[in-house]
Amino acid sequence: MSKKRRQHSASFKFKVALEALKEVKTISEIASEYEVHPTLVRNWKKQLLEEGQDVFSRKSAGEDRKQEEQEAQLYEQIGRLKMELEWLKKKATRFE
């Protein structure tokens, strides 16, 4: 029977990477404390160092996707309303 891969939240990764950045404990100690592989801790630390300036300025991928979906829905609604308006203008000319 195979093990299921664990998926860690962004907040968990950030917490572990931040602790690794403090360098109070070794990476092995941190890895055993949080029950993750030391390579993951190193990768998360490296990622935080490289992309740290963007962590607070950009939105997550989920938020971007959600906003794009909402924009698409709004543009679709605008298109429908324009079509309805044109149709009503055509029909209104009959009654003038």
Q: Which of 4-8, 45-49, 82-86 has the lowest mean pLDDT?
A: 4-8
Please identify which residue in the block is written with the tokens 């950045």.
21
Q: What is the domain range of residue 90? A: 60-96
Instruction: Identify the residue with better confidence: 41 or 93.
Output: 41
pLDDT at position 72 is 95
Asked whether residue 16 falls in the same domain as residue 37, the answer is yes
- In one-letter notation, the amino acid at residue 77 is Q
Does 3 reside within a domain? no
Does 1 reside within a domain? no
pLDDT at position 81 is 96
Does 45 reside within a domain? yes
Please identify which residue in the block is written with the tokens 């992309």.
51
pLDDT at position 64 is 76
Residue 49 has pLDDT above 70, yes or no: yes
45 class by beta-carbon count within 10 Å (0-12 exposed, 13-18 middle, 19+ buried): buried
pTM of the model: 0.55
